[in-house]
Amino acid sequence: MNVLVTGGAGYIGSHCVKQLKENGDHVVVLDNLYRGHIQAVPNNVQLEQIDLRDTDAVTKVLEKHNIQAIYHFAALAYVGESVGDPLMYYDNNTAGTISLLMAMKQVGVNRLVFSSTCATYGQPESMPIVETMPQDPINPYGRSKLLVEYILKDYATSNPKFAFTALRYFNVAGSAADGSIGEDHEPETHIIPVILNTVLGINDKVTVFGTDYPTEDGTCVRDYIHVEDLIAAHMLCMSKLEDGQQNFFNLGIGNGYSVKQVIDACKRVTGADIPVEYGPRRAGDPAQLYSNASKLRNATGWEPQYTDIDKIVATAWKWYKNHPGGYSEK
């Protein structure tokens, strides 16, 4: 299959490219490299360095490569940044997707798997989160993704051949098991990279925000899904799409690990004594966020291979200890 991966030079997108290539698909990457890394794109994969909001350019890419299906990861994803500059997020995430859909419509591409987020739920009143719960995002990032979900539904309703799956991610973690690609953000806000960068001496310490939550050890609990499991779910969803389908699935392992548990896992995996500072809660941090992914499992047969936090951390550590400066050292 001829497949386009938007945001294919980013963390999650690059892992999708890798697994698609291993599956035998012909893969093209579309990425403006604003926050992606050219080093994450394999030499035998065509990179089209254009902006998703350039509809004419996207249309030409779809035509040029005879694209049949699209995995759509291209997005900005910092919650705090979205609060400070919401228009940038609506322009990039929402308008960018509209541009992509317009190009798809013009060329006749009718298969899409979309990278959505559990942030569309906001702060649910109970756990685990199921797809039938109200979606009430509390920041522009979550709203920019929820708007895309509405747009996809409306477009699919108007075009009976168009089919999509929107996957609402929980906390994506880990790196390729073979250590070839990994996670490299600037700034880095994800907890496992922050901890491992502390082990490497890049950070002075790990700050834990809040120890008085109503959880077993007082720290926040999150659902961590390994990036390779996440991509496997995308590929299964794409393989099962049929004309007119509109799918919305949670994508997580179905249970959570606390901040302290993640720190302890990093200590076990690295053998390092990690300096930790305890600070006050951050505004807007729910005590717990974890998924019920049974709808996805029932629809596709997907099962995560990584459910143990130590094993997830071990794959991340394999990448970081060999690339302490990220892709800049490759």
Q: Which residues are catalytic?
A: 141
Please give the Cα distance from 252 to 269 (Å, whole number).
22
Strand partners, 192: none
Please give the Cα distance from 164 to 35 (Å, whole number).
26
What counts of helices (H) and strands (E) characterise the chain? Answer: 11, 14
Q: From start to end of the chain, where are the E strands?
A: 2-6, 26-30, 46-48, 69-72, 111-117, 163-169, 171-173, 206-209, 221-222, 224-226, 246-251, 257-258, 276-279, 288-289
Please give the Cα distance from 53 to 102 (Å, whole number).
10
- In the numeric block, the tokens 């994450």 are attached to 40
Look up residue 324 and give its two tokens: 């302490």
- In the numeric block, the tokens 């906001």 are attached to 122
User: How much is the CA Rg of the chain, to the nearest whole Å?
Assistant: 19
Please give the Cα distance from 330 to 194 (Å, whole number).
20
**DSSP per position, 4-41:** EEETTTSHHHHHHHHHHHHTT-EEEEE---SS--GGGS
Please give the Cα distance from 314 to 204 (Å, whole number).
21
Phi, psi dihedrals of residue 251, rounded to the nearest 5°: -130, 95
